[in-house]
C-alpha cells in the first residue's frame, strides 16, 4: 500500500488521520466556502436536478394520459396524483444531498461520488424515456435495476462524505425499489 504525503493529501482536499491502530487514512476536509458561493452552489444543484425532473416529466406527459391509463395495474399502484409531488421532493433531496457533499468535499475530492450521482441522474431520465417515451416496459424494467444499483452506490458514497447527504438519498432508494416492483408488475400484467 502506498503512502500519500501530507502535502498531496491536503492538495486533494483531504487530511491524513492516524487511527487507534496506527494506520493512516484520508479524511475529507470541510472546504471554506463564501456565502455567495454557497447559495450559488445550492442553486446549481437544484437547477440541475429539477431540469432532469422537468425533462423526465415532459417525456412522461406524452403517454401518462393515454397509453399508461390503458395498462392493467397491480393493486399497489398509487393514484396518478402521487407521482409528481413525490418526485419533486426526491429531486430536491438529491439536490440538497449533492450540495452538502460539494460543500464538504468539493468536486475533485468527491469526483467518484459525483460521477455516480451523474450516472444515476442519467439513468433516472433514461427510464422515463424507455417506459413512457418508447412504451417499453420490458426495457425499462431491466434499466431500473441498474438505476437502483447506482442509487444504492450513490447513497453509500454520499454517506461516507456527509451522513445527512446519505440519509437524504434513502427515500429515493426506497421509492425506486418500490417503482422497480411496480415496473415488474406492470410488465407481468401487460406482456402479451
pLDDT of 33 > 70? The answer is: no
The three cell numbers locating residue 134: 418508447
pLDDT of 105 > 50? The answer is: yes
Rounded mean pLDDT, 172-183:
98
Q: Which residue has the higher pLDDT, 44 or 24?
A: 44
Rounded mean pLDDT, 111-122:
97
CA distance 127 to 134: 10
pLDDT of 183 > 50? The answer is: yes
Per-residue confidence band for 108, with pLDDT thresholds at 50, 70 and 90: confident
Q: How would CATH label the architecture of 35-190? A: Up-down Bundle (1.20)
Give the global pTM: 0.82
**What pLDDT digit, counting tens, does each position of 50-67 carry?**
999 999 999 999 999 999
pLDDT of 19 > 80? The answer is: no
Tell me what percent of the residues of the chain surpass a pLDDT of 90.
77
* Nearest in space to 159 (alpha carbons), one of 108, 104, 118: 104
Q: What mean pLDDT value characterizes the chain? A: 89
pLDDT of 21 > 70? The answer is: no
Contact 172, 151 (CB under 8 A): yes
Cβ partners under 8 Å of residue 11, min gap 6: none
Could you state, in order of their start, the residue ranges of all structural domains in the chain? 1-30, 35-190
Amino acid at each position: 500500500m502506498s503512502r500519500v504525503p501530507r502535502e498531496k493529501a491536503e492538495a486533494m482536499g483531504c487530511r491524513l488521520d492516524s487511527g487507534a491502530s496506527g494506520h493512516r487514512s484520508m479524511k475529507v476536509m470541510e472546504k471554506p466556502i463564501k456565502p455567495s458561493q454557497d447559495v450559488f452552489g445550492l442553486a446549481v444543484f437544484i437547477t440541475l436536478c429539477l431540469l432532469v425532473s422537468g425533462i423526465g416529466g415532459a417525456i412522461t406527459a406524452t403517454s401518462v394520459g393515454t397509453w399508461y391509463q390503458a395498462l392493467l395495474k397491480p393493486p399497489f399502484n398509487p393514484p396518478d396524483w402521487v407521482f409528481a409531488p413525490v418526485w419533486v421532493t426526491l429531486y430536491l433531496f438529491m439536490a440538497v444531498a449533492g450540495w452538502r457533499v460539494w460543500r464538504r468535499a468539493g468536486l475533485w475530492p468527491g469526483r467518484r461520488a459525483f460521477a455516480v450521482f451523474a450516472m444515476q441522474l442519467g439513468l433516472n431520465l433514461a427510464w422515463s424515456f424507455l417506459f413512457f417515451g418508447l412504451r417499453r416496459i420490458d426495457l425499462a424494467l431491466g434499466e431500473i435495476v441498474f438505476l437502483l444499483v447506482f442509487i444504492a452506490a450513490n447513497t453509500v458514497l454520499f454517506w461516507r462524505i456527509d451522513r445527512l447527504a446519505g440519509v437524504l438519498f434513502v427515500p429515493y432508494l426506497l421509492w425506486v425499489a418500490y417503482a422497480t416492483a411496480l415496473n415488474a408488475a406492470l410488465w407481468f400484467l401487460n406482456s402479451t
